[in-house]
Amino acid sequence: MTPRAWAAALAFAAVLATFVPARSSEPPKRATKPKARVGLVFDVGGRGDKSFNDAAYHGVSRAEQELDVEASYLEPASTEDREAALRLFAARGFDLVIGVGFIFSSDIDAVARAYPKTRFAGVDYAPGPTGIPDNVAALAFREEEGSFLVGAVAGLMSKTGHVGFVGGMTGPLIRKFEAGYAQGVKAACATCVVHAAYAGPTPDAFRDPAKGKALANAQIAAGSDVVYHASGATGHGVFEAAADAHVLAIGVDADQHDERPGTVVTSMIKRADVAVFDIVKATVSGTFRGGMNVFGLAEAGVDYVHEGPHAAGIPDDVRAKVESLRSDVVARRISVSNH
């Protein structure tokens, strides 16, 4: 091996060493060439968060089964490793590289401009001041619309007239959840009071269950008998506080009923799995297009758990009222604020 080859091999090993081994995977050897190679880089909290990361993972897994793609996964050990993870997949010639979470946005921009022939997608991507690179598909959601529906559930089911909201990292994205939730609460219960708090100003706010529990306990002490979280793994602490106090909790991003059966009455579902599967399918079919792709209630991109055994705690009259509000939002008779 030449000195240059040795240097390249050592650099490659150094990059790999910055990632969590247990959270990364390589596909088994294949007998046939895949239709596309997809690399997914997880957000803070990683795979197994039973929330947003898992939803994105399920979207890629479905593509593996249905579209004959080959997928690899990486979870950065720290926020500083995000760009390195994206570059690793791009340098290895992957057809599509996906970053999960808005904190990837600037990293995706930098790597996409360095690899203009590689396709990229950002879940919750936020455009920067220079716009979206042509080879980047921005996957965004109207979280405020799904949060509006669970806010209505909270307002209708609260017996105290006080409900809570625990957010993860402060900023425009999580503010959308709070804004929609508060509007939904008021649409269902004009006199209800919404108590809101955030876990912190950095991405670590999405993986601090102890802080989530403390914030939820404070809101419960103030009278909240329903608490909604949009805080990633921090929400596990919210569920624990709600269970201890025998009040209701509302999950986020995925159906989180099984985290605390009897406590989690519903969850706001953000269909990152659908968005991710669709962009992989577009890559395979040759119809990939850069730019914004926004998923709301009308596009079945957000929803709430209202059917089946996991929604058994929602009374029929509450469900009927919330479904009526859904129709108003889809028909644009109600405009849900995102700030």
Domain 143-270+306-330 is found in CATH 3.20.20.140: no
User: What residue segments make up the domains of the chain, in order of their start?
Assistant: 17-141+272-295, 143-270+306-330
Region label for 261, one of left (φ > 0), alpha (ψ between -120 and 50) or beta (otherwise): beta
Using the predicted structure, report yes or no on whether residue 322 has a pLDDT greater than 80.
yes
pLDDT, tens only, 228-273: 999 988 999 999 999 999 999 999 988 999 999 999 999 999 999 9
Q: Please, are residues 52 and 109 in contact by the beta-carbon 8 Å criterion? A: no
What integer is the mean pLDDT of 131-150? 97
**Confidence at residue 27, expressed as pLDDT on a 0 to 100 scale:** 53
* pLDDT higher than threshold 80 for residue 217: yes
Fold of 17-141+272-295: Rossmann fold (3.40.50)
Which strands form 291-295's sheet, in the order they lie side by side? 70-74, 37-41, 96-100, 119-123, 136-141, 291-295
| Cβ atoms within 10 Å of 331's Cβ, excluding its own | 9
Residues near 101 by beta carbon (within 8 Å), at least 6 away in sequence: 43, 44, 52, 123, 124
Query: Would you state the pLDDT for residue 30?
Result: 58
The 10s digit of each residue's pLDDT in 53-78 is 888 999 999 999 999 999 999 998 87
Give the CA angle between residues 140, 142, 146 to the nearest 5°.
Answer: 135
Mean pLDDT confidence for 37-54: 85
Give the rounded percent of residues in the chain with a pLDDT score beyond 70.
91
Per-residue pLDDT of 151-160, as tens digits, reads: 999 999 999 9
Identical fold between 17-141+272-295 and 143-270+306-330? yes
* CA distance readout (Å), 253 to 5, 207, 267, 302: 44, 15, 7, 8
DSSP bridge partners of 165: 196, 228
Cα dihedral 64, 102, 145, 200, rounded to 10, equals: 130
Per residue in 222-234, pLDDT (tens digit) is 999 999 999 988 9
Cβ count within 10 A of residue 106:
15
User: 3-state secondary structure string, 80-143?
Assistant: HHHHHHHHHHHHCCCCEEEEECHHHHHHHHHHHHHCCCCEEEEECCCCCCCCCCCCEEEEEECH
